[in-house]
């Protein structure tokens, strides 16, 4: 018996140890973790003044900063989420913002704000904080200042730093907490604790799962709570910002179709061709003489303007929208010109002064081959030019390539807000230098240009340009080349070379070709037939009118189809 007792004791001890181990494992498996998450790591806080941003219900990659107890956004964040009308002039060290009626400027690093009206007269304002400042080479703008001109709300939380931003409002689901609990980093009792939440608090319900629900607390911690800790869900309607009013950009648009013709003026003497140029037109109501050409990086331009021309045009019932171009501006750096506020304003002052001096009805901006770096300065120029144009009743129209992706930096959407008309240059589908011969403006090219533009610009601001010229293509041992000719010249070429033309349904043009030895001639004719189809497409999309490049190159019967288009309601 004495020998058995030690064995029994040993067995009992083994059982007890095993039970204790099993119990510990059960306790470890089913007990709630008390580990707390590193909130600096959770939010991605990078320094004492760094402020992570929760936008709507998502922690985004952009962060704000705190300087002197004021919250600031970098300008890229402002442009991305709130308002892309803030313009940084690095050379001058100023921040510019345009409203429908004023230019607002502030020296970076200062609290003063200058308000310039359409006549450039200055009024001074002062804020009780620095409006904008640099950290390194990054520009930051005070959140409160951005909020003056943008539709969003924000709430700043400390310990740790983070902020909640709303740019959209509506209905959302909420639920009360029925018992003191924790919000955890992930769904599961072993996940680290983000924050404690007491009974009675309400959370925003983001995503419901089998046992856990993704929620956001009122102080914007996003994590998970057990479903058994949530009460009955209800719907809450959030209140939008009420102290912000979206600016209204009044337009100088007309209540009738526009029929514009560009009149190429090669010198002052060209003004005397007005009468002969428009003699056979029908329904023309706007003429755009190519008077102004950029000549310098300070906003200078050459001028062939004539008061007599304008007076005579008005006598014919024509408005005059003078063209300002850069095609021949070989010595002008468009980024250098447009990026600096001083040179933009000099150009604007001079253009508006010319419009007033010559009694112009409008200004037509034809800036082509704008590089990516000059895209933002270009649209800033259009915004700023629109201010005095709006004030003085000057129509502002802007010429644009057919949208094909590589010219997105022209920002047609913003043009459609601040300018009066966005004109599509619906031609040059194939041009001298193209890799292959082809149409100047096939119907698919034209329709795509209109449809893509209308995705960004209201139809009553869109004018589609049509070509009054044709290209004669020549391919042979010397390669591929083409020549732009008038409609009549193209027709004569076809007749002289005995080319039989046929209607091409793909391009909706009369097409012909001819082999002469080793040389192939091809021509996609622009004529009354092709123009009629383009006008039908424009009528279907109900755009604001037609523009023609250029007067004097058309055959006379083209005006019959244009007149028919203009007569349609």
> How many CB atoms sit inside 10 A of residue 20's CB?
10
Answer with the residue of higher pLDDT: 96 or 19: 96
> How many CB atoms sit inside 10 A of residue 280's CB?
15
| pLDDT per position as a tens digit, 52-89 | 999 999 999 999 999 999 999 999 999 999 999 999 99
Is 251 within a domain?
Answer: no
Same domain, 265 and 208: no
Report the distance separating Cα 485 and Cα 470, nearest Å: 5
Is 478 within a domain?
Answer: no
Same domain, 102 and 221: no
We report the CATH number of the domain holding residue 303 as 3.20.20.80
Q: 15 pLDDT exceeds 60?
A: no
The sign of the torsion formed by the CA atoms of 156, 41, 184, 160 equals negative
**Position 11 confidence tier, pLDDT thresholds 50, 70, 90:** low
- pLDDT, average across residues 179-204: 97
Per-residue pLDDT at 127: 87
Residue identified by tokens 């920002």 is: 411
Q: 367 pLDDT exceeds 90?
A: yes
Domain end (from 157, 183, 215): 157
Same domain, 117 and 263: no
Q: Take residue 262 and report the two structure tokens written for it.
A: 């560009």
Got the DSSP string for 296-327? -TTS-EEE---HHHHHHHHHTT-EEEEEEE-T
Is 2 within a domain?
Answer: no
Is 27 within a domain?
Answer: no
Q: 249 pLDDT exceeds 90?
A: yes
Per-residue pLDDT at 12: 55
Q: 30 pLDDT exceeds 90?
A: no
| pLDDT per position as a tens digit, 333-347 | 999 999 999 999 999
What's the whole-number average pLDDT of the chain? Answer: 95
> How many CB atoms sit inside 10 A of residue 400's CB?
24
- pLDDT, average across residues 325-338: 97
Domain end (from 157, 191, 219): 157
| pLDDT per position as a tens digit, 264-316 | 999 999 999 999 999 999 999 999 999 999 999 999 999 999 999 999 999 99
Is 367 within a domain?
Answer: yes
Answer with the residue of higher pLDDT: 28 or 424: 424
Same domain, 150 and 178: no
Say if residues 102 and 123 touch (Cβ distance below 8 Å): no
Is 232 within a domain?
Answer: yes
Q: Which of 20-29, 30-39, 50-59 has the highest mean pLDDT?
A: 50-59
Residue 401, strand partner residues: 425
Q: 4 pLDDT exceeds 90?
A: no
Percent of the chain with pLDDT over 70: 95
Same domain, 323 and 199: no
Per-residue pLDDT at 405: 83
Say if residues 216 and 191 touch (Cβ distance below 8 Å): no
Q: 24 pLDDT exceeds 60?
A: no
Per-residue pLDDT at 26: 45
**Position 5 confidence tier, pLDDT thresholds 50, 70, 90:** low
**Position 23 confidence tier, pLDDT thresholds 50, 70, 90:** very low
Q: Which domain holds residue 174?
A: 170-237
Same domain, 268 and 385: yes
Same domain, 223 and 275: no
Of residues 130, 87, 172, 94, the one with CA closest to residue 374: 87
Burial (0-12, 13-18, 19+ Cβ within 10 Å), 308: exposed
Q: Take residue 422 and report the two structure tokens written for it.
A: 């966005």
Q: Take residue 147 and report the two structure tokens written for it.
A: 């909020």
Same domain, 144 and 193: no
Domain count, the chain: 3
**Position 404 confidence tier, pLDDT thresholds 50, 70, 90:** confident
Of residues 280, 358, 266, the one with CA closest to residue 321: 358
- pLDDT, average across residues 404-421: 95
Say if residues 354 and 310 touch (Cβ distance below 8 Å): no
Per-residue pLDDT at 71: 98
Same domain, 305 and 452: yes
Same domain, 174 and 153: no
Per-residue pLDDT at 47: 96
We report the CATH number of the domain holding residue 206 as 2.30.30.40
Is 248 within a domain?
Answer: no
| pLDDT per position as a tens digit, 152-184 | 999 999 999 999 999 999 999 999 999 999 999
| pLDDT per position as a tens digit, 549-568 | 999 999 999 999 999 999 99
Same domain, 147 and 182: no
Is 369 within a domain?
Answer: yes
Report the distance separating Cα 364 and Cα 369, nearest Å: 16
- pLDDT, average across residues 13-36: 63
Same domain, 419 and 443: yes
Q: 445 pLDDT exceeds 60?
A: yes
Domain end (from 117, 132, 157): 157
Per-residue pLDDT at 242: 83
């Amino acid at each position: 018996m004495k020998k058995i007792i030690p064995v029994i004791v040993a067995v009992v001890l083994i059982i007890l140890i095993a039970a204790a181990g099993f119990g510990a494992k059960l306790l470890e498996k089913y007990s709630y973790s008390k580990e707390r998450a590193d909130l600096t790591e959770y939010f991605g806080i990078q320094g004492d003044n760094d402020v992570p941003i929760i936008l709507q219900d998502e922690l985004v990659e952009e962060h704000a900063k705190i300087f002197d107890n004021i919250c600031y956004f970098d300008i890229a964040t402002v442009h991305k989420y709130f308002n892309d009308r803030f313009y940084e002039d690095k050379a001058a060290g100023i921040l510019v913002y345009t409203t429908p009626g004023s230019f607002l400027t502030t020296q970076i690093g200062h609290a003063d704000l200058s308000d310039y009206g359409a006549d450039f007269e200055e009024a001074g304002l002062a804020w009780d904080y620095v409006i904008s400042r640099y950290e390194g080479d990054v520009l930051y703008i005070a959140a409160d200042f951005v909020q003056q001109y943008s539709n969003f709300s924000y709430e700043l939380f400390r310990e740790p730093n983070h902020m909640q931003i709303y740019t959209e409002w509506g209905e959302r689901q909420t639920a009360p907490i029925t018992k003191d609990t924790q919000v955890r980093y992930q769904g599961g009792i072993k996940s680290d604790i983000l924050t404690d939440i007491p009974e009675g608090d309400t959370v925003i319900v983001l995503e419901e799962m089998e046992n856990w629900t993704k929620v956001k607390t009122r102080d914007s911690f996003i994590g998970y709570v057990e479903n058994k800790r949530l009460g009955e869900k209800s719907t809450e309607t959030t209140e939008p910002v009420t102290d912000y009013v979206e600016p209204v950009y009044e337009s100088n648009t007309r209540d009738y179709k526009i029929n514009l013709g560009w009149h190429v003026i090669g010198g002052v003497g060209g003004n005397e061709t007005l009468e002969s140029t428009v003699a056979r037109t029908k329904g023309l109501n706007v003429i755009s003489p190519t008077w102004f050409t950029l000549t310098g990086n300070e906003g200078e331009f050459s001028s062939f303007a004539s008061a007599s021309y304008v007076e005579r045009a008005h006598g014919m019932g024509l408005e005059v929208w003078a063209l300002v171009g850069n095609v021949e501006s070989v010595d002008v750096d468009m980024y250098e010109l447009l990026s600096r506020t001083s040179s933009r304003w000099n150009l604007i002052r001079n253009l508006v002064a010319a419009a007033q001096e010559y009694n112009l009805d409008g200004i037509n901006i034809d800036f082509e081959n704008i590089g990516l770096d000059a895209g933002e300065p270009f649209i800033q120029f259009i915004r700023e030019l629109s201010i005095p144009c709006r004030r003085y009743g000057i129509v502002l129209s802007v010429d644009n390539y057919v949208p094909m992706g590589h010219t997105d930096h022209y920002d047609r959407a913003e043009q459609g807000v601040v300018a009066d008309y966005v004109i599509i240059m619906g031609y040059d589908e194939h041009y001298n230098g193209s890799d292959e011969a082809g149409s100047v403006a096939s119907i698919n090219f034209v329709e795509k240009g209109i449809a893509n533009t209308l995705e960004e610009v209201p139809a009553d601001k869109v004018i589609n340009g049509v070509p009054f010229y044709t290209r004669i293509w020549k391919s042979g041992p010397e390669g591929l080349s083409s020549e732009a000719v008038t409609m009549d010249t193209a027709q004569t070429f076809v007749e002289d070379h005995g080319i039989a033309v046929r209607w091409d349904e793909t391009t909706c043009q009369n097409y012909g070709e001819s082999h002469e030895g080793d040389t192939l001639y091809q021509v996609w004719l622009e004529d009354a037939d092709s123009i009629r189809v383009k006008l039908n497409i424009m009528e279907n999309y109900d755009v604001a009118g037609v523009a023609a490049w250029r007067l004097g190159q058309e055959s006379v019967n083209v005006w019959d189809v244009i007149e028919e288009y203009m007569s349609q309601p």
